[in-house]
Chain A
Amino acid sequence: MKPALLRATLPSHVWRGREHNKPNSTGYVPSGFLKIDDKIHGWPLGTLIEIVPHQIGIGEFSILLPALARLSQDSRWILLVCPPYTPYAPFLSNMGVDTSKVIVTHAETITDAGWCMEQGLRSHACSAVIGWFPQITEKIIRRLQLTLEEKNILGIFFTKPSEKYKNNPTPWRFILKQKNHEMLVEIPKRRGGGPINPISIPNPSQQTCCGFV
C-alpha cells in the first residue's frame, strides 16, 4: 500500500510518527520563562502534565505562577487540590495571581483528591486544576487524562520522584532539579515530540511579579 493511501485509511486516533512536531491542538499557556517557551511553546493545555520535583522547596510551585497569573485574568477558577501546605496569599498576590480566583481543597483520601480534580476538569469552570499526589494510581491518571482531553484547561499534578511511576501514562512529564542557583527542567516525556535537552532557568521563587507578567 502506498504511504499516502495508508495514511488516509488509518483511523484518526492512530498516532502518526511523522506528525510529532504538530503543535498541541488546544494550545499552550506561556510559561513566562523564555527558554521554556522557545522550546515547547509553554505549558500545554488540555493534556495532563506530571511534574516531579526532586525535592520540596526548589521553586516547583513558583515555576507555574507566571502561567497562573495569566490564567487568573480569566473568569474561571484556579483549583488547587491537596497542596502540601497553605498557599500563602501575599506571595500569590505578589506574583500577580488574582487570589479571588483561587480555590483550595483538602481531601483525606487519594480517591477523594482524584475525584476533586476530575470535578474541576469536568465542570468547565476552571482554567487550571493542580493537584499534589504523594501517590497516584494509574487508574486516576487515566481518568484525569480522559476528562481533560481537548479541553482548554491547564491540568497538572505533582508527584514524588519514584521508580514506580516512571511508566505511568501521563502524556507530559517534567522533572525539576536544583543546580547551583538555577533550576534544571528535564522533559523526559512529551506528546508528539522527541527528547530535548534539559532547560535551565533562573530559580523561579527568586522572581517578583514585575519580572514577567
Chain B
Amino acid sequence: MLWLCLNFPDLPINVFSIDRTIENPIAIIGPSNTIIAINKECQSLGIKNGMSLSAAYAISNLIEVKHRNKHKEAKKLEEIAISLFQYSSQISISLPSSVLIEIGASIALFRSTQHLIDQIKKTIIKLGLDAQTAVSPTPTAAIWLALQKTNAEVLTLDDLPQYINPLSISNIEYKNISNIEPSDVGIKTIGQLACVPRSAVTQRWGSGVLDQLDRAFGRKPDPHPLFILPHRFNTEISLNLPASSVTEILFGINRIMQIMANYLQVRQRGVIEFELSITNEENFSHNFNFKLSVPSRDPKHLTSLAQERLNRETIPSRIESIQLKSIKELTLTPSSHSLIPQSERTALSGGQLIDQLQARLGEKSVYGVTVYADHRPEKSWRATIPGEKHYHAPLNHRPSWLLRTPKALISISDIPQLRGPLTILNGPERIETGWWDEKDIKRDYFLALTQDRSQIWIYKDVKNQKWFLHGIFS
C-alpha cells in the first residue's frame, strides 16, 4: 500500500471562488472572528492568517469577509475525490482539508510513481486548486507529512521514521490527563514523543496517542473509511460575483458540467435527464429540467444545451449559485476508436443534434414523422420522436404537404374554387372509415389543378357536400 495525501490549505477560500481570473480580496473568518484563510489579493494588502477581523479592517476596508462554510468544504473534497477516481478506487476523505488516495496498485499502469503523482497533480491544477502532497506507506503518516508541507515521498516503511521523527506534534490528538502539556516536558517532535516509555505516554496523555503513533509507523493496521460515490450527482457551486446574464454564469455552468462529467466517467454512465437550478441573492431559485435523447457525459455538449435553453428563458438577476442534479443516468460505455470512422459516432452525434435543436427551439418544434396505419389522411401520419418507425402498407398517390386542418373552399355550382375554378385531374378516391372512434369520415378525394397550375389535393365531404383543401403536391 502506498498512500498519497493531498492537503488543501486554501480550501476555505477555494469554496468561495471558482474563477481565479477575477478576484477581489476575500478573507474567511473562523468562530472567534479571526482570519483563517485569505486569497492572494488579501495577502498583497498585508493581511495575514491569524489576524483579528478588526485588525484586517484597519489595513483595508475593501476586503470581502465570509464566514467559514465547513459544509461546502466537505462537498468540495467530495468533488476532488470524484475526479481522482480515475487513478484509484481506494480514496478516503480526511476532514477538514485532505484527501487520501491509494496509489500503490496503480503504479504499474502509470509506469512510475513519479508519473502517477504528476498526473494527479495536473488533475488538481485543472480543478483550479493547489495541494500540498506527501506519499507514505501509511495513511496517517501521509496526512501528517502533507499537513506540515514537507512534500515528502516516502516509499518504504523503513524510511518512514527519518521523515516522521522531525515533524512537530501539532497534528497528534491527546488528552491532558495530568495537566502537563508535551511541550512542558520538552517534547516538540514526534521522534521525541516516540522515545518516551509507552506506559508514561498512556499515563499522561491517554492511550490514543500511542495508537496514532503505531498507526503512523505501520506497527498497527491503519484503516480509513473509504469514500463511496453518491448514487446521484448533486452539486452546487457559488459564483464569485453575483451574475445577471447567461454569459456571466456560463463559466460556472461549464465548471459544474465538468465535475458531473468526471462523476459520470467514473460510474461509466451518461446522463439522460438532469436539473439545473440557479439561485439568486434572495434565495429564489429557478429550475430547468433537461431531457436528452441519448445519454451523454460530454461537458461541452451539456454546457451548450444549457446555454441554448437559458438563452431562451428569462433568468433571475444577481445569481449567486448554480446547482446541478442528475435525475436519470444510463450506462454509457466509452466508444472505442475505430479504424473506419462514421456509423457509431454519427448515431451518437445525431442524438446530440436533436438535443441541441430542442434546447433552443423547444421540444415540440423538433420532431420526426412516420406513417401510421389508418386510411384517414389526417391520421395516417404522426409526429414522433425522430428516428421512430412504423411499418405499413403503401398507400395511393399522396401529396407532399398536408394541411393540419383542412381549409374550406368556396364552390360555385359545385365547382370548387381556389384562385379561380379548379380542374379535377384525378378522382374520386372514396375514404370512408373511422366509425370506431367517433371521428368517422366519408370523403371523396380528388387531385385538382389550379388556374396557375399548382397541383392540390381536395376533398368533398359526402355528408355535407362541402369542398375542402387538404394537401399540396409540392
Residue in A59, A62, A76, A205 whose CB lies within 8 Å of B350: A76
Binds B, one of A7-15, A22-30, A34-42, A97-105: A97-105
Size of the A side of the interface (Cβ < 8 Å), in residues, is 49
Residues of chain A from 171 to 213 with CB closer than 8 A to chain B in the complex:
178, 203, 205, 208-209
Q: A89-B381, A100-B388 are in contact. Are A106 and B365 (CB under 8 A)?
A: yes
Binds A, one of B45-53, B268-276, B397-405: B397-405
Residues of chain B from 82 to 114 with CB closer than 8 A to chain A in the complex:
none
Binds A, one of B12-20, B227-235, B236-244, B353-361: B353-361
CB-based contact A61/B474 at 8 Å: yes
Q: A55-B452, A57-B455, A57-B472 are in contact. Are A119 and B353 (CB under 8 A)?
A: yes
Q: Could you say which residues of chain B place their CB within 8 Å of the CB of A165?
A: none
Main secondary structure of the interface of B (DSSP, over half): mixed
CB-based contact A56/B369 at 8 Å: no
Most A C-beta atoms less than 10 A away, residue of B347, B369, B452, B472 = B369
Would you call A169 an interface residue if the criterion is a C-beta within 8 Å of the partner chain's C-beta atoms? no
Would you call B175 an interface residue if the criterion is a C-beta within 8 Å of the partner chain's C-beta atoms? no
CB-based contact B357/A105 at 8 Å: yes
Would you call B219 an interface residue if the criterion is a C-beta within 8 Å of the partner chain's C-beta atoms? no
Would you call A126 an interface residue if the criterion is a C-beta within 8 Å of the partner chain's C-beta atoms? yes
Q: Could you say which residues of chain B place their CB within 8 Å of the CB of A106?
A: 361, 365-366
CB-based contact B357/A85 at 8 Å: no
Would you call A93 an interface residue if the criterion is a C-beta within 8 Å of the partner chain's C-beta atoms? yes
- What distance in Å separates the Cβ of A141 from its nearest Cβ neighbour in chain B? 20
Main secondary structure of the interface of A (DSSP, over half): mixed
CB-based contact A94/B394 at 8 Å: yes
CA A90 to CA B376, docked complex, whole Å: 11
CB-based contact A205/B455 at 8 Å: yes
- What distance in Å separates the Cβ of A100 from its nearest Cβ neighbour in chain B? 4
Would you call B368 an interface residue if the criterion is a C-beta within 8 Å of the partner chain's C-beta atoms? yes
CB-based contact A94/B397 at 8 Å: yes
CB-based contact B471/A77 at 8 Å: no
Would you call B392 an interface residue if the criterion is a C-beta within 8 Å of the partner chain's C-beta atoms? yes
CB-based contact A99/B369 at 8 Å: yes
CA A123 to CA B388, docked complex, whole Å: 20
CA A115 to CA B368, docked complex, whole Å: 19
Would you call B453 an interface residue if the criterion is a C-beta within 8 Å of the partner chain's C-beta atoms? yes
Residues of chain A from 113 to 169 with CB closer than 8 A to chain B in the complex:
115-116, 119-120, 123-126
Q: A88-B398, A94-B394 are in contact. Are A105 and B346 (CB under 8 A)?
A: no
CA A3 to CA B403, docked complex, whole Å: 59
Would you call A21 an interface residue if the criterion is a C-beta within 8 Å of the partner chain's C-beta atoms? no
Would you call B387 an interface residue if the criterion is a C-beta within 8 Å of the partner chain's C-beta atoms? yes
User: Quick one: closest A residue to B403, CB to CB?
Assistant: A85
CB-based contact B349/A103 at 8 Å: no
Residue in B366, B387, B403, B452 whose CB lies within 8 Å of A105: B366
Would you call B367 an interface residue if the criterion is a C-beta within 8 Å of the partner chain's C-beta atoms? yes
Q: Could you say which residues of chain A place their CB within 8 Å of the CB of B423?
A: none
User: Quick one: closest B residue to A77, CB to CB?
Assistant: B350
CB-based contact A103/B392 at 8 Å: no
CA A76 to CA B346, docked complex, whole Å: 7
Would you call B150 an interface residue if the criterion is a C-beta within 8 Å of the partner chain's C-beta atoms? no
Contact with A along B264-306 (1 / 0, CB 8 A): 0000000000000000000000000000000000000000000
Q: A55-B454, A59-B474, A100-B388 are in contact. Are A90 and B353 (CB under 8 A)?
A: no
Would you call B195 an interface residue if the criterion is a C-beta within 8 Å of the partner chain's C-beta atoms? no
CB-based contact A89/B455 at 8 Å: no
CB-based contact B386/A205 at 8 Å: no
CB-based contact B369/A115 at 8 Å: no
CB-based contact A102/B369 at 8 Å: yes
CB-based contact A90/B357 at 8 Å: no
Q: Could you say which residues of chain B place their CB within 8 Å of the CB of A112?
A: 360-361
CB-based contact A62/B473 at 8 Å: yes
CA A55 to CA B455, docked complex, whole Å: 11
Q: Could you say which residues of chain B place their CB within 8 Å of the CB of A209?
A: 394
CA A203 to CA B342, docked complex, whole Å: 36
Q: Could you say which residues of chain B place their CB within 8 Å of the CB of A57?
A: 450, 454-456, 472-474
Q: Could you say which residues of chain B place their CB within 8 Å of the CB of A89?
A: 369-372, 380-382
Residue in B368, B377, B397, B454 whose CB lies within 8 Å of A99: B368
Would you call B352 an interface residue if the criterion is a C-beta within 8 Å of the partner chain's C-beta atoms? yes
Q: Could you say which residues of chain B place their CB within 8 Å of the CB of A56?
A: 454, 472, 474
CB-based contact A124/B349 at 8 Å: yes
Contact with A along B400-418 (1 / 0, CB 8 A): 1111100000000000000
Q: Could you say which residues of chain B place their CB within 8 Å of the CB of A58?
A: 453-455, 474
9 contacts between A and B (CB under 8 A): A65-B400, A79-B353, A88-B471, A90-B398, A94-B397, A100-B386, A103-B368, A104-B367, A124-B346
Shortest beta-carbon contacts, A-B, top 9: A57-B454, A85-B401, A89-B381, A100-B389, A205-B473, A61-B474, A125-B350, A88-B402, A91-B398
Contacts from A to B (Cβ < 8 Å): 55-62, 65, 75-77, 79, 83-94, 98-107, 112, 115-116, 119-120, 123-126, 178, 203, 205, 208-209
Q: A86-B402, A101-B387 are in contact. List 5 more A-B contacts (CB 8 A).
A: A77-B350, A89-B372, A91-B402, A107-B365, A123-B353
